[in-house]
Amino acid sequence: MAEERKGAVTMRGNPMTLVGPEIKVGQKAPNFNVVGKGMQPATLDQFKGKVKIITTIPSLDTPVCDAETRRFNVEASKLPGDVQILTISMDLPFAQARWCGAAGVDKITTLSDWRTASFGTGYGTLIKELHLLARCVFVVDKNDTVTYVEYVKEVAEQPNFEAALEAARKAAAA
């Protein structure tokens, strides 16, 4: 049975339970098994040697997630070439591809955790009550060590973009 963290985040003020461990800076990033474009499996290992900004969001089809993902897409072009931004949600890969096409989002990789919630339970971002991922940002260095973590306390609010981007720049320069 996975660990549960009651009240770890709120959704519009309502306390929610996160399933899985709380990831801490300095630990090895857990591997995960999600689904990418064309229903292809994707794992952490596929991004070895890159700095990863991994964002989790409830759904691209909501205003806050839409704005956050567009912002990270804009920021992606300003980051060093070895930084990869991954956005993971429970949206189906077809919906992610449709949204990216409509939004002109082409510099980040969208991945879906709908099949097994392996990312959500491995990184402690799965909201038990909604079976959606909470809004979180992890920066993982080239050696797959976590260098930055933000579990956004109120899921309806944006993450700290500047802090995450700075952590990624530092990891890329190391």
Give me the active site residues, please: 65
Angle, vertex CA 56, rays to CA 50 and CA 61, nearest 5: 125
Q: How far apart are CA 139 and CA 55, in angstroms?
A: 9
Q: How far apart are CA 24 and CA 149, in angstroms?
A: 7
* Count of C-beta atoms within a 10 Å radius of residue 108: 20
Token couple for 160: 């700290």
CA distances from 99 to 40, 56, 92, 94, 95 (A): 18, 16, 11, 9, 6
